[in-house]
Amino acid sequence: MKGLYSITTLIITLLALASCVKEPSLSYEEIEQRSLQAWIKLHRPELLENYQEEGGYYVEVLNEGILDSVPVTNKDVWVWYDFTSRALSGNILETRSADVATQLNTYNKHTHYVPAFRFSGKDSHTLMEGTYLATFNKLKIGDSELEVRYGTELRLYLPSSVLSSDATTSDGGYEGEFAIDKTKPMIVDMKVWGHVGNPVAYEGERVATFANTNGGLCAEHSKEIEKEETDKETSQRRYITRTEESEDSEETEEEEVDRRPLEFFDGRWHQPVDTMKHLLVNYSYSPAKSFDFKNALGLDTLKYPNETLYTAEGVYANGQMSDIDRRINEALIKRFGKGIEGEEQILNADSLKKKTTANVWYIGRFLDGFIFDSNIDEVNEILYGTVENEGEALSFTTKDAVDENEYILAWEYAIPTLRLGQWAAILTVSTYGYGVAGVVGSHTSTTVTDGTYDYANYYNYMNYMNNYYGGYGYGGYGGYGNMYNQGYYGYNPYYYGYTPQVTTTTVTTTSTEIPAFSPLLFQVFVEK
C-alpha cells in the first residue's frame, strides 16, 4: 500500500506541475518569422541588420540604382519592374525574363517577356505585397536608408505573410519549374525600370510617336469634315464612303462620286472619330510594307531594355522580328492580296456602311511588334509552328450602335469606316482597347484520349497464332484455319480479348497577358 501511495502521489504531483505549464501561444506567422530568421543567420548573417520591421522581411541590395533619378518612395506612381521568385532552396517559381525561362525550358512563345507594370500608392497598390513594401517605403540598410528608384536591384527574403495569394500561382507563361506552398517563404529578385505618374498621358505619347514614325499624323484630323447636307443627322463617325444615293436617285443619270476618301489614303494616320484623340487609323496600310517598330520606341529613358527584346533582333517565336515580319507579310499578301490601291479602286470599293455584316481577319500587336492574337492560320503557323484551332473570320455588324458586336471600342468605331477588300491598321490606347486594367494571361488545357490498337504487337501475335494453329497445326488435324481469316470460331482472337492501347494527349493553350495601359496595334482585312 505504501508503494502504491507513493506512485499515486507522484502522478498527482506531475499532473499538478503539468497544469502550470502554459500552452504554446505562437501563431504560424511568428513561427515562420523565427524560422526565416534562423535561415538568414545560417546562410546570410550579414543581412540581419537589413531587417524591415514592416512586413518582417530582409533586403539585399544588388544595385542602388541611378542616384540622381527620382525615387519611387512614398509616391502614387505606376512602376515598371522585373522580378524572378525562388523558394529558399533556389528552385525558380516565377520569372518575367525570357533568358531565365529559356534556361528553365519553360519559355513560351505566347508570353510577352517584359517587366510588370503595376500601381504603387499610399492607399492602394497592385504589386505583390512584399515588393510594394520595398518600393513604397524607405528601406533600412544597416545604419542608413535607401529609396528605390530607376535601376535599383533588390533581393527580398519574404515570409508568406507578405506574399499575395497569386504570387505563387502565376499564370500566362511566366511560371518557373516548380510550385511552392503558399505558406512558405520566398526569395524575390526585382529590378525597377522606371515609373510614371500619369500613365494615360504617357500612353498617348507612345501612340503619337508610333504614328509619326510610321507615316505621320494628320495635322487636320481633328477638324470636322464638311457636311454636304445640313438637313441630315450629324454623325461623329467619319464614314469615308461614296455619296449615298438620294431618294430620287433612280432619276439621276450618273451617281456623283465623293472624292473625300482620297484624303484619308495619304499614308498618314487619321481619327475615325473626331472626339477620340488617341484612336487612329491608317487607311493606306498594306502588308506590302512592314512597320518600323524599333524607331517607334523613341529615346525615352523610361524605356526598359526588355522593350527592345523583340525589335533588337532577339529571339522571337522561331526567328527574329524582321524575318518573322517578312514571312508574315508574304503569307498575308498570298492569301488576301495587297488590299485596295489607286484612286479608281478606292473610289469604287463599297464601304461597310452599305453592308449589314462583314468578315474581319486581324493581327493584334503590342507596339514593339509582339503579336498577342490572330485569327489567321498562316500567322499562327509561322509564330508557333502549328495551328491549334482553325481560324475563323470575325463577323462584324456594321450598325450605328457601337455595342452591337461586343468588340473593343477601337473596332466599333474604326472598322465601320473601312471598305470591302481593304487592309487597314488601327492604333489605339488601352481606353479603347481592353481597358486600363489589361487582361490577365491564362492557360487552357484540353485533354484528348485516343484508344487505338497496337498494330505491331497485333501482327506479331497473328504470326504466332498462324504458326501454331494454322495449316497442319494443332494435333495434326489440319488446325483451326488461318487466323488472318478469322479462324475456326469466326472471330479474331486478338481483338476479342484485347484492350486498345490508350494514348492521352494534353494540349495547353496560353493566352497572352495584356498589361495595364498597353497601347495596341491591329492589322485588319475586311473580306469582300
| 494-510 per-position pLDDT tens digit | 444 445 566 666 666 77
Topology of domain 29-197, CATH: Chitinase A; domain 3 (3.10.50)
pLDDT tens digits for 168-206?
456 788 988 888 877 889 999 999 988 999 999 999 999
The domain ranges of the chain are 29-197, 200-223+259-440+512-527
5 confidence band (pLDDT: 50, 70, 90): very low
Domains 29-197 and 200-223+259-440+512-527 agree in fold? yes
What sign does the CA torsion over 83, 325, 423, 336 have?
negative
For the chain, give the percent of residues with pLDDT over 70. 70
Please indicate whether residue 230 or residue 310 has the higher confidence score (pLDDT): 310
Rounded Cα distance between 185 and 166, Å, is 14
Q: Has residue 14 got a pLDDT over 80? A: no
Q: Please, what is the Cα angle at 288 between 379 and 515, to 5 degrees?
A: 50
- At position 486, the amino acid (one-letter code) is Q
Q: Has residue 248 got a pLDDT over 50? A: no
pLDDT of residue 3: 46
Residues 6+ apart with CB under 8 A from 467: 473
Q: What is the mean pLDDT of residues 387-412?
A: 79
Rounded Cα distance between 297 and 300, Å, is 8
Q: Has residue 488 got a pLDDT over 50? A: no
pLDDT of residue 35: 92
451 confidence band (pLDDT: 50, 70, 90): low
For residue 468, give the H/E element and its range. helix 455-469
Please indicate whether residue 220 or residue 111 has the higher confidence score (pLDDT): 111
pLDDT of residue 247: 41
pLDDT of residue 320: 84
pLDDT of residue 341: 85
Q: Please tell me the CATH code under which domain 200-223+259-440+512-527 is placed.
A: 3.10.50.40
Q: What is the mean pLDDT of residues 506-515?
A: 79
Give me the helix-helix angle, 321-336 and 377-384, nearest 10°: 160
pLDDT tens digits for 83-103?
999 999 999 999 999 889 989
Rounded Cα distance between 293 and 135, Å, is 31
For residue 51, give the H/E element and its range. strand 51-52
Q: Please, what is the Cα angle at 104 between 326 and 43, to 5 degrees?
A: 140
Please indicate whether residue 25 or residue 152 has the higher confidence score (pLDDT): 152
Q: Has residue 253 got a pLDDT over 80? A: no
Q: Provide the mean pLDDT of the chain.
A: 78
pLDDT of residue 305: 54
SS3 344: helix
pLDDT tens digits for 340-358?
888 888 888 888 777 778 8
Q: Has residue 404 got a pLDDT over 90? A: no
